[in-house]
Amino acid sequence: MTFRTKLFVVFMLALLSSVALVAVGVTAVTRRAFQESNRTHSEALVAQFEREFERHKQDIVHRVQGVADAEATVRMAIDLSRPKADVSVYVNDARGVAGSHQLDFLDFVGDDGSIISSNESPARFGYKMDWLAQPQDWASRGAFLTKVDTQDGPALGLMSVSVVRVGDKNLYIFGGEHLGKDFLASLVLPSDMRALLYMNLDGSFQPTDLVDESGPVTDGERFAEFIEPERERPTERAFKIAWTPDAASAELFHVLPLLGRQGELLGALLIGSSAREVVRLERRIIWLAAGVATMGLLLGLLLSWWGAARVTRPVRKLAEGAREVSEGNWSARVEVRGPNEIAQLARAFNRMTEQLSEQRERLVQAERVAAWRELARRLAHELKNPLFPLETTVENLQRAKEQSPEQFEEVFRESTGILLSEIESLKKIVARFSDFAKMPQPEIGPVNLNDTVRGIVKLFESQFGAVGRPPITPELHLEEGLPAIQADEALLRRAIENLVLNAMDAMPAGGVLMLRTTHENGDVDLEVSDTGSGLTPEECDRLFTPYYTTKQHGTGLGLAIVQSVVSDHGGRISVESESGVGTSFHLHLPAKPPVRSPSAVAEEVSSNGE
C-alpha cells in the first residue's frame, strides 16, 4: 500500500469516524427528544382521561340524582314506603327511566337492598344488593367504579347512588354508565395513539377483557404478561410491545389502574402510542443524515484524495528520485518547494545524490586507476615470463656470436625456435586480452541446458581421470523436463566451460564436481560446485572483477567472461564458498533474454571499444 493510499485511508477513517459520531449523536438526541415528546403526549392523554373521567363522574352523579328527583321516582318511593307495598308493578320501570336519563345501568333498590327493577339485568328483581343498604353517606360519595352484573355477564360501570327517603324507608337509585368501548370512543385521541380498557372481570387475564373502541383487542393475549403484574400490584406503569420485527410496529403503553370502591383493581386504562411516527421521523432523519454523510464522504473522498496526492507528491518525487538513483541514474534530482520538512528532506536527498555522484565519480576513477594498475601488473606479469626467455635467448645469441661463432649456427637455430615459441606465447596473451575486449553479441536460439551440460562433461571426461592427476568425479543432477531457453549456446558453453575449468583448478587434489540444473516458471538455474579449498569472502567479492585471479597463472578473465555472458542473457550469477568445503556458482538464466535497445547495445559496444 502506497503512502498516498495510507494517507487517504487515514483521512477517510477520520472522516468516517466524525460522520459516525455526529450521526450517532444526532440520532440519540432525536430519539430522546421524540421519547420525551411521546411521554408528554401520553401524560397529556392520561390527564385528559382523568379529567374526562371526573367529568363523567360528575355527570353521572347529576343524572342519577335527576332520576331520584323525578316525580315518578318520588311516587314510587312513597308507594313502596307503605306496608305490604307491591313492588312487582315497578319491575320494568328501570328500563324506561334509564333510557330517558341516558343511563346504561339503573337499578331501583328497596330499603332492604332488594332489587325492584333493573335496566341492565331485568331478570335480577328480588335479589339483594346488601352493600347498598349499608349505612353510608352516598350523597358525598360521588361516582365510583364498580362491577355490574348484566344479562351479558359482568361489566364495568361508573356508578352513583342516590337515595330517596320517605318516612323511614329508603329507595336507592343505583345508576351509571357502562365503562367500555363507547367510553373509549368518547376520548379524543391523536391519530397515532389509542386507548384500551382492561376490565378485570375474571379470575385471570382473558384477552376478551381487553377492549378498544371497536371491541376486543386483536392479539389481546400479547398483553397478558403486562396486565398480570398490574392485577397483582395496581400502579401506574409503562411497557412496550413490538408487534412485528419492524421497529415502527412498536407501541408504548401507559397503564392507569382503575380502582373500585374498596381500592380493588377493577380495570386499567392503557394509553398506547405508536412508535410508527417516531420511527418514521427517525428514519427520515437517519436517511437525511446518511445522505448528507454520503455527500460529505464523497466530498471528503475527493478532498482526501486530492490532499493525500498533494501531501505525498514531494514524497513520491523523492521516491522516484531514489528509484532512479537505485537504477543508476546518479544525476537524479528532486524538485524542492517550500520550507517544510518534505522540502528539507528533498534538499537533503539532492545533496546526498550530488555527494554520491561525486563519490561515484571518484570511486570510478579510483577503480579505473586500480584496474589499469591491475592490468598493467597482469600484463607486466604475463609479458615478463616470455620476455625473460627472449632476453636470455637474444643474449645467448649475442654471446654465441661473440664467443663461439662455430656454435652460433646451432645456437641460432635453437634460439630462433625459442624466440618464435615465446613470441607465440606473447601473441596468445595478447589474443586473450583481445578476446575479452571483443566479446561477441549473443546469437539467440533454443538451448537445452541439460544437453549443453552433458556435452561439456563429456568433453572434460578425459581430463577428469587424466593420468598423473588425482581424479575428479563429476556428478550430474539434471532435472528432467528442463525447458529450453532462448540463449547463445556457444557463449553459454564457453561460460560453463570456464566454470568447470575453474572448479578443476580448485581441486588439485581431486574431488567431486557437481552440476545441477533446475527450473521454475520457465527460467533455468545451474549450479556448479566443487569440493576444493574454497574462497575467502574478500576473494568472493572480487571474483568477477576483470583481471583478478587467485591462480598463479590465471588472467583473471575467466569469471569476468562468465559474468559477461550471463549478463548478456539477462541472467545473474552468484557465488557461495566455504573455506575447506568448496565453492558453488549459481547461474540463473531467464527463459528468454531481455530485448536490449539498440542504444544500449551501441553504448555497450562503445564502452567495450574504450
Q: Could you list the residues that contact other proteins (CB under 8 A)?
A: 86, 88-89, 91, 121-127, 151
Report strand pairing: 472-478 vs 511-520. parallel
Least separation, in Å, of the C-beta of 47 and other proteins?
Answer: 39
- The DSSP secondary-structure symbol of 334 reads -
Q: Name 343's Cβ contacts closer than 8 Å, sequence gap at least 6.
A: 314, 336, 337
Closest approach of Cβ 159 to other proteins, in Å? 19
Nearer to other proteins, 127 or 287 (CB): 127
Complex with other proteins: residue 114 or 304, whichever CB lies closer: 114
Mapped onto helix, strand or coil, the DSSP state of residue 353 is: helix
Given the complex with other proteins, which of 9 and 89 has the nearer CB atom? 89
**Min dist. Cβ of residue 88 to other proteins (A):** 5
Q: Which is nearer to other proteins, 97 or 496 (CB)?
A: 97
- How many Å apart are CA 362 and CA 346, to the nearest integer? 24
Q: Which is nearer to other proteins, 150 or 249 (CB)?
A: 150
In the complex, what is the shortest distance from the CB of residue 220 to other proteins, in angstroms, rounded to a whole number? Answer: 22
Neighbours of 310 (CB within 10 A): 10
**3 state SS of 404:** coil
Other C-beta atoms closer than 10 Å to the C-beta of 610 total 6
Query: Least CB distance from residue 189 to other proteins, whole Å?
Result: 36
Q: Which is nearer to other proteins, 203 or 263 (CB)?
A: 203
Q: Which residue lies nearer to other proteins by CB, 91 or 375?
A: 91
Q: Which residues pair with 114 in a beta bridge?
A: 128
Tell which residue, 58, 37, 60, 56, has the closest CA to residue 48.
Answer: 56
**Antiparallel, parallel or unpaired: β 582-589 and 265-274:** unpaired
> In 3D, which of 239, 200, 235, 194 has the Cα closest to residue 218?
194
- Residue with C-alpha cell 575467502? 536
Residue 157 C-beta: closest distance to other proteins, Å = 17
φ/ψ of residue 240, rounded to 5: -125, 140
Contact status, residue 249 vs residue 276, Cβ threshold 8 Å: yes
Task: Give the nearer residue to other proteins in terms of CB position, either 124 or 542.
Answer: 124
User: Are 514 and 500 within 8 A, CB to CB?
Assistant: no
Residue 214 CA: distances (Å) to CA of 74, 195, 242:
39, 11, 21
**Closer to other proteins at the Cβ: 98 or 334?**
98
Q: How far is the CB of 167 from other proteins (least distance, A)?
A: 24
Closest CA to 502 of 489, 488, 492, 513: 513
Of 25 and 126, the one with the shorter C-beta distance to other proteins is 126
- Least Cβ distance, residue 203 to other proteins (angstroms): 12
In the complex, the smallest distance separating the C-beta of residue 208 from other proteins, rounded to whole angstroms, is: 16
Burial class of residue 55 (count of CB atoms within 10 Å of its CB; 0-12, 13-18, 19+): exposed
CA gap 369, 227 in Å, rounded? 105
CB half-sphere exposure, 36, CA atoms < 13 A: 6
User: What is the DSSP secondary-structure string of 430-476?
Assistant: HHHHHHHHTPPPP--EEE-HHHHHHHHHHHHHHHHT-TTS--EEEEE
Least CB distance from residue 117 to other proteins, whole Å? 9
Question: Could you tell me if 519 and 508 are in contact, meaning their C-beta atoms sit under 8 angstroms apart?
Answer: no
The rounded distance, in Å, linking the Cα atoms of 417 and 419 is 5
Residue with Cβ nearer other proteins (117 or 393): 117
Of 93 and 489, nearer to other proteins (C-beta) is: 93
Q: Rounded to the nearest whole angstrom, what is the least distance from the CB of residue 151 to other proteins in the complex?
A: 6
Query: In angstroms, what is the minimal distance from the CB of 124 to other proteins?
Result: 5
